[in-house]
Amino acid sequence: MAAAQNANVPSRQPDVTGDAEPATGNEADAIIVTGSRFGGRTSTQSATPVDSIGRDQLQQSGRVDLVQQLKVEVPSFNTPRPLGSGVGDYLVPPSLRGLGPGEVLVLVNGKRRHTSSDLNASNGIGRGDISVDFNAIPSFALSRAEVLRDGASAQYGSDAISGVINLILDRSVGTRAQVTGGMTTAGDGAYGEASVSSGIRLGTDGAFRLTASFQQNGGSDRSRPDTRQQYFGTNAAGRPTTISGNFGSGVGLTPSNGTLDPREASIDRRVFRFGDQPSTNVQLFYNLVAPASDTVEVYGFGGYNQLNGDIEYFFRRAGQDETIRALNPDGYRPRLDSRMENLSVAMGLRGDDLAGFGWDLSTVYGLNTQDLFYDNSVNVSYGTATPRRFYRLGSDFYQWTSNLDVTREVPLGGDAPLKLAAGMEYREETYRLFSGDPAGYLNGGVPILDGPNAGRPAIVGAQPGPSAGLDDRAATGRHSWAVYGDAERTLFGRLLLQATVRHENYSDFGDTTNFKVAGRLDLFGGLAARASYNSGFRAPALAQSGYNASNTLILKGQQAIVRVAAVDSPAARLAGATDLKPETSRNVSAGLVFERSGLTATLDAYSIAVRDRIAISSTFQDARLTAFLAANGQGNFSALSYLTNAVDTTTRGVDLVMHYRTRLADGTFSGTLAGNYNKTRFDRIAGTPAPLAALGITTPLFDLTQQLRFSDSLPRTKVTIDLNYARGDLSVSLTNTRYGEVSTVALTNRTPAQVAALVPGYDVTLVPVSATSRNADIVQRFGARLLTDFELSWQAMAGLRLSAGAQNLFDVYPEANIASTVASVAAGTNGADNAGTQPYNAISPFGFNGRTVFVRAGINL
């Protein structure tokens, strides 16, 4: 019989690709298949920690976004709430065990999933990294998700440093559908989902299931009125004056530049969007297993999705040089129309009797494409003849992976055979970056048309930043091959030992060999000990080497065009860039497992040392650098960054998971306590690149802002208590999640007087700018928060289930940014809230939408 078996036939054993009995909750007795090539075992019997979360558990509390579902259910899985980061607002960067989005590997049915083509160049968490687009995969298509919280490069190859997320597709027979709708109690953020999934039987053991899902998000807004001066003032001679960028300068709270324009009194000052961005997402996924003969089966899976988003950037005031007042007399807000598409196709054959070997031959093709358009934009240097819509850039990433795996059991006496596995893998990858509309980056030659700066050279390029030019284009590719082997045996009926080794060769950086050893020992009374040690690696993503574009970021309270230059570009080389090296890691994990009388508990401690971590460098913004680059033919941007192997880190932490199930008052009660603590320290931080030091620049390659993104911008602690009770036709769930404190550099280089005006009432740390300066960088800490989710479900009739509830039941918001005030403006500075318009920080691990209520109807046929 075939090695991979039908999930609806319990007598048959699951296979290494992840097809197993469906799990409907975070059950200790769920069969898990991630982390081993020798079939499934329960999570408590595994030598390494694995979470198994069923589809129903993922969709609890009305969530429809897979990455947000995982964040609530997995103790060491975290995400921020990006803002104004382009498509990064949708490609939310995930983190497992305190590491970055590129250091966790995502599988579907045990096969490597392709990543996004986008490099996160935003000024936030995940900057300089890439991640898998979770928007492509409908959670309604899943049987469950398995999360291996341990390094696994020796088993799966590159990226599996912090762990592996294996999304296992449902292969059951029958039809189900659901409709979900919700919105915040603030009256925005409306979202809706309609999904249907149907499976039919193929032969005696096969099945084909097709899932379609449509999701729509209306977006939310937590901005505050923009009280800055919007229009030119006038001086005593009646001539226009430049506008003030200070909080309150347009409403009389703080001084304006010149006499205010009468329109200041009537303009609608709610000009920002600060929250979730609107989007629509169409998802289609299939899963196929069919017998090809008595000993061989054919399988396939894959899908397509298209997400269309409408991202709104910072408002350009009427009096800014970025505004053509003849076209936008009251200012404008540029938008980014985004289209992201994913296509994946996997197919394979597998069996359990090829000359005594079990075998699996597969190939997986994946593609991610992105097309970005500026809308409601201008290129000021074109004057009133400017286009209003520009093609910003496009990118795509192709990945084609083929594997041959074989397994065999060798009897050695007794009842525990030696289990052996071996395999080969070949992978090809291609990354391309496309240029945008020429009118989005060329100088139209028209000076500023009016105002106090009339006649001066206009800002060149589309707003909010130039589209990609001809020199920004990239086309790069590579191939790799790998061979690997596994061995596993149970000794004395209580000691499980595992060993894995993998050798891999990449066409762009050469060879790497990695290994893993793990074991589990039954002790007494349901107690067991387990441990593992492994080496790992992460190949630089092609986008990390090839990305070359300019982006508008907020630096030191001001908008600035920042060039993220490809490492082999002339500008980056002039500033000290070198070719990227792969990251390497050493991962140690040790823990205890207890299982008895309905209670299971696991406690695992870990240490992950990563060398040569890849990140975007500090943003080098200095007149000396600008002049140096211009003198060498590299100009037209005010600040520069590039990808670099900037630091070595060690992340240590502890995971605790406890699960209890019992009968209670004619019903069933289950509870799960899951917690994580982690802390990252820096073992090496690269200094100032030599070419910049020669110019007298002292900014390190990886400055304090970048360091805190690695070490403190994700919560060090996270605890979830999930309680469920079902009786008759009713069930209720209550989930409490406590997110620990996070920190970020709020403001830089502030004087003592400015610090005194800004920090009262906030939890801050002051970091001296230098040994000879009294000025300081201000690090702000945002305190821990406890969020409660609630859901009540009713089985109204056979096949119909109705649910209602709330996410963030008690309407909890994060602590506010350091605010701009009249006192701070008098001291010469705004706060960290963009002159009062943005009260919350994007590093909040739970966002800042407040309470969301939802209803859901589910049908099973």
The string of DSSP codes covering 694-743 is TTT----SS-HHHHHHHHTSS-SEEEEEEEEEEETTEEEEEEEEEE--EE
CA-wise closest residue to 362 among 305, 297, 419: 297
- Of 3.40.50.300, 3.40.50.980, 2.40.170.20, 3.40.50.80, which CATH number belongs to 31-226+270-741+783-808+846-860? 2.40.170.20
Cross-strand partners of 303: 285, 344
CA 40 to chain centre: 29
Cross-strand partners of 3: none
Q: Say if residues 383 and 324 touch (Cβ distance below 8 Å).
A: yes
State how far the Cα of 477 lies from the Cα of 489, in Å rounded to an integer: 40
pLDDT score, position 821? 97
Spatial strand order in the sheet of 776-782: 742-750, 776-782, 764-768
Residue 116 DSSP SS3: coil
pLDDT score, position 16? 34
Which residue reads 């292969």 in tokens? 171
Q: What angle do CA 258, 259, 262 make, to 5 degrees?
A: 135
> Residue 316 carries which DSSP code?
B
Where is 756: in which H helix or E strand? helix 752-758
Range list of H helices, 185-303 = none
Residue 220 DSSP SS3: coil
pLDDT score, position 82? 65
Q: Say if residues 315 and 230 touch (Cβ distance below 8 Å).
A: no
What's the Cα-to-Cα distance from 792 to each of 64, 291, 707, 853, rounded to whole Å?
A: 17, 41, 43, 12
- Residue 597: partners with Cβ closer than 8 Å, 6 or more residues away: none
CA 290 to chain centre: 35
CA-wise closest residue to 257 among 230, 220, 293: 230
Provide the b/e sequence for 205-223 (b: ≥16 CB within 10 Å). Answer: bbbbbbbbbebbbebbbbb
pLDDT score, position 413? 76
What tokens does 332 get?
Answer: 């404008």
Range list of H helices, 300-342 = none
- Residue 782: partners with Cβ closer than 8 Å, 6 or more residues away: 741, 742, 743, 763, 814, 815, 841, 843, 844
Q: What angle do CA 44, 45, 47 make, to 5 degrees?
A: 100
State how far the Cα of 12 lies from the Cα of 52, in Å rounded to an integer: 20
Q: Which residues of the chain have pLDDT under 70?
A: 1-30, 32, 39-42, 81-86, 551-561, 636-637
pLDDT score, position 562? 74
Show the 3-state SS of 519-573.
Answer: EEEECCCCEEEEEEEEEEEECCCHHHHHCCEEEEEEECCEEEEEEEECCCCHHHH
- What is the number of residues in the chain? 861
Q: How many CB atoms lie within 10 A of CB 112?
A: 24
Where is 95: in which H helix or E strand? strand 95-96
Cross-strand partners of 384: none
Q: Say if residues 457 and 447 touch (Cβ distance below 8 Å).
A: yes
Amino acid at 450: D
Q: What angle do CA 768, 773, 776 make, to 5 degrees?
A: 35
Sign of CA dihedral 642, 79, 397, 158: positive
